Structure 1
Amino acid sequence: MHKNQYDQPIGEPILNWDKRDLPQKKILDGKYCTLVPYKVNLHAKDLYSAYSEALDDRDWTWLPIGPFRNFEEYLSCANQFEISNDPIHYAVINKITQQAVGSIALMRIDTENGVVEMGFVLYSPQLKKTRIATEAQYLLMQYIFDELKYRRYEWKCDSFNDPSKKAALRLGFTYEGTFRKLVVYKNRSRDTSWFSLIDSEWSLNKSVLQSWLDPNNFDQDGQQILSIQQIRDQKIL
C-alpha cells in the first residue's frame, strides 16, 4: 500500500503519464475476421440482410436501438454509425465470405485517463457463438491495450441481459457492480451492470484468447477442444 506524507493510503504512483491517443477508424485484421470502419455503402445491405435472418426481435431487447421494421429505418441508424467519432463503429467481416455479419464499437473514449468502453455489439445469427464473435472482441482489446496503451477497457449492459454478462466473464472481464436506475431507454428503466478488463490483466487474457482462437483448438467439425475457461485454468496453475 502506498501512503502520502500524512500516512494516508493513496493509489500507486504513475510516472510520466501522458494522455492516450484516440482510437482511429482503421482496419484490424485477424485469422477469421477483419474489423473495418463502418461504411453504409459497403456494409448496410449485408448487415440488414444478416439481421433479418433472426426468427424474431429478441436480439434487440436490451439494445438502445432496433428492431428495425425495414431497411430504410436501419439505414437511418447506419448513416449515424458511419459519421460518428464516438462511438466508433466497425463492421465485422467474415474472411471466408467477405460479408459483413455484425458490428461493434468503441465508445465513451477518455484519452485523459486511458479508459474506453466497448459497446453496440450487433451480432447477426451468422456471427453468434462463432470463432469470429470471439476474435472480433480480441482484436479490439489488442488494439486498445497493445497499440494505444489504455489502462482500462469497459463492458456495460442491462442488468437483465444475462447472455451479455456471461460473455463478459467468459472473455476475462471482472464484474464490478450494478448502477441502479442509470438509464431510461425504450420507455423503461435500466440498471446497468459494469465489467472491466485492466492493463495488468491483459497479458494473461491475451494468451488465453490466442490459445482458444488457435486453429489447433478446434476439431474437424469446428468444435472447440478446450473452452476459454479450461485454458485460463491451465495457464493460472
Structure 2
Amino acid sequence: MPDWQPAATPPRAVLQGHFVCLEPLDSALHGDDLWQALQGPDSDPALWDYLPYGPFSERGAFDLWLSSHAASDDPLFFSVIELRQQRAAGLISLMRIVPTDGCIEIGHVIFGAPMQRSPASTEAIYLLAKLAFATLGYRRLEWKCDAANARSMQAAKRLGFSYEGLFRQHMVRKGRNRDTAWYSIIDREWPALANSFERWLAADNFDAEGRQQQRLGSLAAERKHD
C-alpha cells in the first residue's frame, strides 16, 4: 500500500447508539453502577474466569482497579451505558492501538449478566468497530481470547471475526497456562459486515417480545462472502 497513511488515535469521546452509548470510563460517575452490574448479587459468576483480574471481594479494590483503567490511554476504556435503564452495565476497551500499522483490538469485554447475548452487547461491539474502520481509518481489528473461553470464541465467530490461529502457551494467567485464539476483521470486509450489523440491530428485526427475526451470525457469514 504505497499510499498508506497512519490511522488516527481513538478519541475520548461518547459513541451514541440506539441501545447503548459508550462513555469514556469515569470511575466516580460509573463506579456504583459497575459494582452492581459486575459484582452485585445478580452478577455472572463466570464473568472473571478468563480475565487477568477479578473478582473483587471488596469495593475499595474494585474502585482502585477502575481508577487505573480510567487513566489509561491504551487500553482506552469505555463504560457501556444501557439506555433503557440509563445506567452503566459493562466495560469495553480499544487496546494494542498501532496507528502506524492501522491495527487495533477490542478487548477487556466485561458485560454484566443482563447485557450478555443482547442487542446492547452487540451494538457496543458495532460502535467500536465502526469507529475503528469508518472514522479512524484502521485496516485491521483484532479479537483475542483464551482458547478455553468458549463463550468468547463463539462471540467472535457470531460477530464476523475470522479465526486466524492459536498461539500455544502464549501467557500465564491466574497461575495457569493460556493458549490464545486470534481473530480479526480487515478493512475490505467491514462494509459488508457493517451492513449485517445494521440490519440485525434494526427495530424490525425484533418482535414484540424482543426476539430476533434473523441471526447476526447468518447475516455476517452471508455478507462477508458476497
* TM > 0.5 fold call: yes
**Do the aligned residues in 1 keep the contact of 2:77 with 2:94 (CA within 8 Å)?**
yes
User: Are residues 1:171 and 2:162 paired?
Assistant: no
Q: CA deviation at 1:182?
A: 0.9
State how 1:64-75 maps to structure 2 within 5 Å.
Answer: 64-75=52-63
Match of 1:196 in 2: 184
Choose from 77, 84, 108 the match for 1:96.
84
Q: CA deviation at 1:233?
A: 5.3
* Residues 58-105 of structure 1 deviation map (CA, whole Å, 9 limit, x = unaligned): 211101111010111111110111100000000000111110000100
User: Are residues 1:34 and 2:21 paired?
Assistant: yes
Change (3 A) 1:225 1:19: same
**Do the aligned residues in 2 keep the contact of 1:53 with 1:125 (CA within 8 Å)?**
no
Match of 1:15 in 2: 2
Match of 2:31 in 1: 44
Query: How many residue pairs align between the two structures?
Result: 224
- How far, CA to CA, are the matches of 1:233 and 1:21 in structure 2? 29
Q: What letter matches 1:118 in structure 2?
A: I
- How far, CA to CA, are the matches of 1:221 and 1:17 in structure 2? 47
- How far, CA to CA, are the matches of 2:10 and 2:220 in structure 1? 28
Q: Which runs of 5+ in 1 are unaligned?
A: 1-13
* Residues 107-162 of structure 1 deviation map (CA, whole Å, 9 limit, x = unaligned): 01111100001100010012111100000000000000000010000000001001
Q: What letter matches 1:170 in structure 2?
A: R
Question: What SS class does the counterpart of residue 58 from structure 1 fall into?
Answer: coil
TM-score, length basis structure 2: 0.95
Question: What SS class does the counterpart of residue 153 from structure 1 fall into?
Answer: strand
Q: CA deviation at 1:57?
A: 3.1
Choose from 146, 149, 153 the match for 2:137.
149
RMSD, aligned CA: 1.3
Question: What SS class does the counterpart of residue 126 from structure 1 fall into?
Answer: helix
Q: Which has the larger radius of gyration?
A: 1
Q: CA deviation at 1:234?
A: 5.2
Q: CA deviation at 1:230?
A: 3.1
Change (3 A) 1:55 1:202: closer
**Do the aligned residues in 1 keep the contact of 2:106 with 2:141 (CA within 8 Å)?**
yes
Q: What letter matches 2:215 in structure 1?
A: S
- How far, CA to CA, are the matches of 1:196 and 1:84 in structure 2? 24
TM-score, length basis structure 1: 0.91
Question: What SS class does the counterpart of residue 130 from structure 2 fall into?
Answer: helix
Change (3 A) 1:167 1:211: same
Q: Which runs of 5+ in 2 are unaligned?
A: none
User: Are residues 1:58 and 2:58 paired?
Assistant: no
Q: What letter matches 2:7 in structure 1?
A: R
Q: What letter matches 1:28 in structure 2?
A: L
- How far, CA to CA, are the matches of 2:4 and 2:222 in structure 1? 35
User: Are residues 1:134 and 2:125 paired?
Assistant: no
Residue identity over aligned pairs, in percent, reads 37
- How far, CA to CA, are the matches of 2:70 and 2:58 in structure 1? 19
Q: What letter matches 2:22 in structure 1?
A: L
- How far, CA to CA, are the matches of 2:44 and 2:189 in structure 1? 38
Change (3 A) 1:50 1:208: same
**Do the aligned residues in 2 keep the contact of 1:47 with 1:102 (CA within 8 Å)?**
yes
